C-alpha cells in the first residue's frame, strides 16, 4: 500500500471529523492484517462530544473498525491532523498508544505526515496481559 496515497486519503477524510468544540480535526488509517494474512486499511476520525470524556480519537475508531471486521494485527498507523485548516504535527494520546500496543508490536510504524516513529519508541512499556497475575479461581 502506497503511504503517500493513504496519507492523501486521510487528509481528505479530515472533512468527516466531528470536532465542533476544539476545531481540531484528526484522521487516521490503521493498516491491519487478519488471520488469513489479508491486509486491510481502515479509516477513522475523531468524534467529539459536549461531554469531553465521551470523545473518541481517530486512531481508536480506525483500529476498532478493523478489529470489528476480523483484522486483529496492527501493522501501521497513518495519522494527520488540522487546526483551523492548517495541517499540524500530532502524536497519538496515551489511550490510543495502549490500544495500538494491544493489537500491535513494538515495530508498528506510526506516520503523522511529518515523521515516522515506531510504537516501541513512542510508548516503550505498554501494558500487556502477560503482566497480570494468573487467576487462580475462588
Which positions are annotated as active-site residues?
A: 59
pLDDT on residue 127: 81
48 phi and psi angles, rounded to 5 deg: -85, 165
Q: How far is CA 102 from CA 28, 36, 39, in A?
A: 17, 19, 18
Collapsing DSSP states into helix, strand and coil, what is residue 95?
helix
| C-alpha pair distances (Å), 104 with each of 3, 48, 68 | 18, 25, 16
- Residue 1: the pLDDT is 75
**Beta partners for 30?**
42, 77
pTM of the model: 0.91
Beta carbons of 36 and 19 less than 8 angstroms apart: no
50: left (phi over 0), alpha (psi -120 to 50) or beta: alpha
For residue 138, what pLDDT is reported?
45
pLDDT tens, residue order, the chain (138 aa): 799 999 999 999 999 999 999 999 999 999 999 999 999 999 999 999 999 899 999 999 999 999 999 999 999 999 999 999 899 999 999 999 999 999 999 999 999 999 999 999 999 888 877 766 775 454
Q: Residue 63 burial (CB < 10 Å; 0-12/13-18/19+)?
A: buried
Q: What does the block give as the cell for 17?
A: 471529523
**What is the C-alpha separation between 33 and 19, in angstroms, rounded?**
30
Q: Which domains does the chain have, with CATH numbers?
A: 3-131 (3.40.140.10)
Amino acid at each position: 500500500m502506497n503511504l503517500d496515497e493513504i496519507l492523501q486519503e486521510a487528509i481528505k477524510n479530515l472533512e468527516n471529523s466531528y470536532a465542533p468544540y476544539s476545531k481540531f480535526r484528526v484522521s487516521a488509517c490503521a493498516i491491519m492484517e487478519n488471520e488469513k494474512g489479508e491486509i486491510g486499511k481502515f479509516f477513522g476520525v475523531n468524534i467529539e462530544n459536549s461531554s469531553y470524556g465521551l470523545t473518541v480519537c481517530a486512531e481508536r475508531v480506525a483500529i476498532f473498525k478493523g478489529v470489528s471486521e476480523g483484522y486483529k494485527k496492527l501493522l501501521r498507523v497513518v495519522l494527520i491532523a488540522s487546526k483551523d485548516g492548517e495541517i499540524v504535527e500530532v502524536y497519538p494520546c496515551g489511550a490510543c498508544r495502549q490500544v495500538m500496543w494491544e493489537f500491535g508490536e513494538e515495530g508498528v510504524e506510526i506516520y503523522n505526515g511529518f515523521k515516522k516513529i515506531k510504537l516501541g519508541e513512542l510508548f516503550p512499556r505498554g501494558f500487556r496481559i502477560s503482566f497480570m497475575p494468573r487467576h487462580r479461581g475462588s
